Amino acid sequence: MAGDAPSSLPVQLVEQPRLLKLKESFIAKFGSAPKFYVRAPGRVNLIGEHIDYCGYAVLPMAIEQDILIAVEPVNNDVVQLANTNSLYLDFSASINDIQIDKTKSQWHNYFLCGLKGIQEHFGLNNPTGMNCLLDGTIPPSSGLSSSSALVCCAGLVTLRANGKTLSKVELAEICTKSERYIGTEGGGMDQAISFLAEEGTAKLIEFSPLRATDVRLPSGAVFVIANSCVEMNKAATSHYNTRVMECRLATKLLSKSKGLDWKKMLRLQDVQAKLGVSLEEMLTIVEEVLHPEPYSTEEICKCLGISLEDLRSQILSQNTQDVSTFKLHQRAKHVYSEAARVLEFKKICNEAPANAIQLLGELMNQSYISCREMYECSCPELDQLVDICLQFGAVGSRLTGAGWGGCTVSMVPTDKLNTFLKNVKKAYYQSDVQRLALENNSLFATKPGRGALVFVEA
């Protein structure tokens, strides 16, 4: 059941070398033993890029790579955070005075987002202090959701340490909201799959209300993740938040042209719902209403009949105040066509025709072209990597996550997997000294993993 709370599993640490090692490191660091451990997985989005914040369903699966935190609640008001990776510095703060610096995307700020979300949800006046040691296996800024997994893990840590309970859906919704403390206007996919994932199945994640449906992937193919080794940090870049605003502005202009109450409309899905038309019909409306040339802020104000001050104070987010041009036609076209591809992907998985793998691969390829051409969220390295993956046997390949760097996901027939891995290694990683150093964690086949949970020593 997806509606229940995250599982709590008793484990024998001798059988769990990673947990055992984390316990030993924790004792060496804090001088006492952790009381429990919390794990939250990263994810790969198979199809449905940049549409969750527009209100549309997406199709991710959890991966085996995760954030794991050892925790000891303590009788003071201090939260102490440490990381097994020495590149990430220790941090401590008063638990009653949580300050999140939006200008710095330091690792501890993502933990503080999850912590603050739970504190505020319950109105905890006297939250318990904690010692926490984190061990992460998700490559950072790779588009596999390391930051959201950390927010989710911290939320579940804080929940457990304070003796509270919530359902997975409630946790996902709180963690989505609380990640905005760091300035990311995300749509909720990453947090939803981190909590709602189940082993062996991908999920169709739908929003308002949040729900997850199993999607059985075809046997006979595997999904391979390949890291472009170009880091992209969502909170630190304006690209991501500019796209969110372009979709919001397209929503306003489409609504106004159709005589809807545009001030109340926030997401592209709202326009479709209000008009009661299909995604195909929405694409026709986009062609009729929005021009392909970029819109200036002046033109947007004119179309909506508002002042520049109103635009900045009522519509644009804090970090998009200085953007002067917006591409509305291209962004809306991507969103409505990508939303249709997600539904088609699920339908093919459900009906399982003989050529399912081929059909799903074609949808992934179309998604990638739309991300590259219409949403402009690719980069030269991702383009090169997708080409290499298709050249060596992938039936479909696309960027996954926000883009502008990070990873590709490719669908590869099982019988071609070994030669595929060997050839991609040679063509992309071994041809470049910097990539060669990162090669071991950069290319791997993955299968749907389970969602966030708590471990206690048996």
Locate the DSSP E strands across 383-451.
Answer: 396-400, 407-413, 443-446
Supply the pLDDT for residue 37: 98
d(CA 351, CA 356): 9
Supply the pLDDT for residue 2: 42
Residue 361's contacts (CB-CB under 8 Å, 6 or more residues apart) are 394, 395, 396, 411
How do residues 60-100 score in pLDDT, each as one tens digit? 999 999 999 999 999 999 999 999 999 999 999 999 999 99
d(CA 144, CA 173): 19
Cα-based torsion angle of the residue sequence 157, 162, 163, 165 in order, rounded to the nearest 10 degrees: -60
Residues with pLDDT less than 70, the chain? 1-3, 233-236, 437-440
d(CA 410, CA 196): 23
Supply the pLDDT for residue 186: 79
How do residues 387-402 score in pLDDT, each as one tens digit? 999 999 999 999 999 9
For the record, the structure tokens of 200 come out as: 């062996």
Supply the pLDDT for residue 1: 39
Distances (CA, A) of 344 to 43, 53, 279: 21, 20, 12
Residue 457's contacts (CB-CB under 8 Å, 6 or more residues apart) are 10, 11, 12, 13, 23
Active site residues: 190
Q: What angle do CA 135, 137, 139 make, to 5 degrees?
A: 125
Cα 38 versus chain centre, distance: 19
Report which of 339, 397, 388 is spatially closest to residue 44, judged by C-alpha positions: 397
